[in-house]
Structure 1
Amino acid sequence: MSSVYSVDVEIRAPVNDTEVTARVADAIRNLFPEADPDHREGELVAEVHTMEGFSEELHRAEILDTARSVFFDNLAGDSFAFDLKKQAAFESRVNFAVGEPAELGDIHVGVTVRAPDAESYIDSVAPPTEDGKPIDTE
């Protein structure tokens, strides 16, 4: 991620009565280490301006193609959003939530790219691959 990007990433996760707030906060920080979640009326909310830590997890887990698919499927103008499973995040694993939300809710991530554009940002977070290896597009 050598280019300079202007991006706002909002992270929201419900906190149910049966959950420990600190564990949900840890789940968020495990995938977004820059996050400092605030507790607000039954949920944790955090805003960060980078997805570098998240990108590192995508690379480590070798799920760049999956991430690109999720990001581009949810791209609308300069924004995209996706949901993550809380339990997997607590274990420092990326698991995209699809279909019905989990019983305790999922971590919702909304990304707005101000510069240069959302497609370029997605390419930096989850670069295109060939034979499962990132392609250097620069």
Structure 2
Amino acid sequence: MIYSIDVHIEAPVNDTEVTDRVADAVRNLFPDAEIEQQPGRLVAETHTLDPFSDRLHEQEILDTARREFLKNARKGGFSFRLKKQAAFQGVINFAVGNPDELGDIEVDVIVREPDVETFVDHVAPPTEDGQPVDPSRIERD
């Protein structure tokens, strides 16, 4: 299957933070992202979530990721937020509730091909007893 996505990533850079460290946090989770520094923030673009998906599998947090992706899904895409400090350590930690004091990494995914639900199945497949299962085996409502 061919995937066509645009991933837009933004992270605030506060006066108390080192810009390179915030860039490293983004790169740790999105190594293919092209990062641009703007006043008070970093903006990045990538066209793959494969390394991010690999990390979700390694951390065994597919169910959490699916929940976040689908909770924030819309026609044509989905969005989610990540904790900067965890990302700097190379760890995915979804930000829920109020934003962190230093701000969160905001990720917006535009899915052109296939549909959003199929792409979410690719990035964070459904699980059974904690193990990924083939999405084609899952019955849809």
Q: What's the TM-score, normalizing by structure 2?
A: 0.94
- The aligned residue for residue 32 of structure 2 is 34
- The aligned residue for residue 100 of structure 1 is 98
- The aligned residue for residue 25 of structure 1 is 23
Aligned-residue offset at 1:136: 2.0
- The aligned residue for residue 118 of structure 1 is 116
- The aligned residue for residue 62 of structure 2 is 64
- The aligned residue for residue 7 of structure 2 is 9
Alignment-mate amino acid for residue 67 of structure 2: S
Distance in 2 (CA, whole Å) between partners of 1:132 and 1:78 is 28
Matched, 1:109 2:103: no
Aligned-residue offset at 1:78: 1.1
Instruction: Give the % identical residues.
Output: 61
Helix, strand or coil: the match of 1:103? coil
Helix, strand or coil: the match of 2:34? coil
Spell out structure 1 runs of 4+ moving beyond 3 A: none
Distance in 1 (CA, whole Å) between partners of 2:104 and 2:29 is 13
Alpha carbon RMSD of aligned pairs, Å? 0.8
Aligned residues: 136
Q: Which one of 78, 81, 92 corresponds to residue 80 of structure 1?
A: 78
Distance in 2 (CA, whole Å) between partners of 1:80 and 1:114 is 12
5+ residue gaps, structure 2: 137-141
Distance in 1 (CA, whole Å) between partners of 2:39 and 2:135 is 43
Q: What's the TM-score, normalizing by structure 1?
A: 0.96
- The aligned residue for residue 47 of structure 2 is 49
Distance in 1 (CA, whole Å) between partners of 2:84 and 2:45 is 17
Helix, strand or coil: the match of 1:23? helix
